[in-house]
Copies of this chain bind each other. A is one copy, B any other.
Amino acid sequence: MSSSNVSPLAPKGGFPDLPVVGGVTFASAAAGVRYKGRDDVMLARLQAGTVVAGVFTTSATRAAPVLDCEAKLGGASDGPAAILVNAGNANAFTGHYGQTSVEELCKAVETVAGVATDRVFTSSTGVIGEPLPHDRIIASLEALTNSQSPDGIKDAARAIMTTDTFAKGASTVINVDGQPVTIAGIAKGSGMIAPDMATMLVYIFTDAAISFEPLQAMVRGINATSFNAITVDSDTSTSDTLLVAATGASGVEVAGIPAFRDALGEVMLSLAHQVVRDGEGATKFVSISLSGAASDDDAHRAAMAIANSPLVKTAIAGEDPNWGRIVMAIGKSGAVADRDKISIHFGDILVAEKGWVASSYREEDGASYMTRDEIEIAVDLGVGSARKTVWTCDLTKRYIEINADYRS
């Protein structure tokens, strides 16, 4: 649970200066859910009319707050809304008591902050299978409500961290017909997917005006090429949650505006990359670009097979240009492949083609390339035109330490 050592892949310059987003305020507090001496709960208050879209884990054992959020998505949006998040306890696999906890939290937000329960979205991240001490969170709600500030997003990003080694934020401001529209977001996750300590949570806020259906479609589309295209360890959380809240405070309607979609995509991709850069034990940031696949499914499957292969990831950790393991991962992925049509590049270096090592390839070039912090692996299957890029990190002894030693 130590976060003293910041990931070597953390963005330079620390947490970015995030702009204020009209219509949303934040507060954080130390509720003592599990951690001592640090904030572990955050409340974001969203102005009346705010539209909330989201995507969630597809796990069959997803947590109570995830089920509750899913049910509330797309409801009426006239009143104010709120997002309440705690770290330290995932409220997952907690039986019917888990749902009771969510209901108690939502009722308390209604009472204390004046937000109707069907507009309160909650998330919990931390240990699975222990009852959520929701009373502690409820006890902090008055302070959270009274200390709301438009500038509180950085503290909110810190309050939701678990095994994260740095807080994650990203923003952009675009111009639509001469009027500024702002997007700012925060994320947590170190390992997308270390479910009892580090599930992935993402909250993005914008003052854009947009109704639920186009926003939800946009979020779902971008999610496929951002958060659903990253992996740290192949383990899918019970709690992954991404919420995008559009307050409308800018007065600028953005449905159908490509610049807004691009801007939202940029923020989501930046946050997704930051999650990988904080992957448990990571020392290398790896992009895998798969092209020439027979179908989109095959492109995703082959890219993820490479990104999740323990042998590929340990080779990268060892700075070993072991392209044979990439061939192995392609072979096991189930994607249509033909040995003699596969080509593999490390950065600009052609490594393999025509079913064998490339005649121009020199092992020392590959070895030198692998010493970088950021590795680009490009694979062309040569059997079609579908493509997909995914991002991952290496697999190191530190990952074992973090995950073998927790709870004890």
A residues contacting B by CB (< 8 A) are: 57, 59-62, 90, 92-97, 127-130, 193-196, 233-238, 308-311, 314-315, 317-320, 322-325, 327-340, 342, 352, 354-357, 367, 395-397, 399-401, 403-408
Contact = CB atoms under 8 A, between A and B. Distances in A.
B237 A320 contact: no
B356 A95 contact: yes
A333 B309 CA distance: 17
Contacts of A319: 408
Contacts of A403: 310-311, 314-315, 318
A404 B61 contact: no
Contacts of A238: 327-328, 331
Nearest to A191: B311
Nearest to A407: B320
Contact of A233 (B311, B320, B355): B311
Contacts of A311: 193-196, 233, 235, 403
A52 to B, nearest CB: 24
Nearest to A64: B339
A215 to B, nearest CB: 27
Contact of A327 (B92, B315, B395): B92
Given A61-B339, A325-B196, A310 B399 contact: yes
Given A328-B235, A404-B315, A336 B93 contact: no
A92 B195 contact: no
Given A332-B235, A400-B314, A93 B196 contact: no
A400 B404 contact: no
Nearest to A323: B129
A220 B249 CA distance: 65
Contacts of A408: 318-320, 367
A93 B330 CA distance: 12
A337 B59 CA distance: 10
A196 B236 contact: no
12 contacts: A59-B331, A59-B332, A127-B324, A129-B356, A129-B357, A130-B357, A194-B311, A234-B310, A235-B329, A311-B403, A322-B406, A396-B400
B324 A128 contact: yes
A359 to B, nearest CB: 11
Contacts of A128: 324-325, 327-328
A61 to B, nearest CB: 3
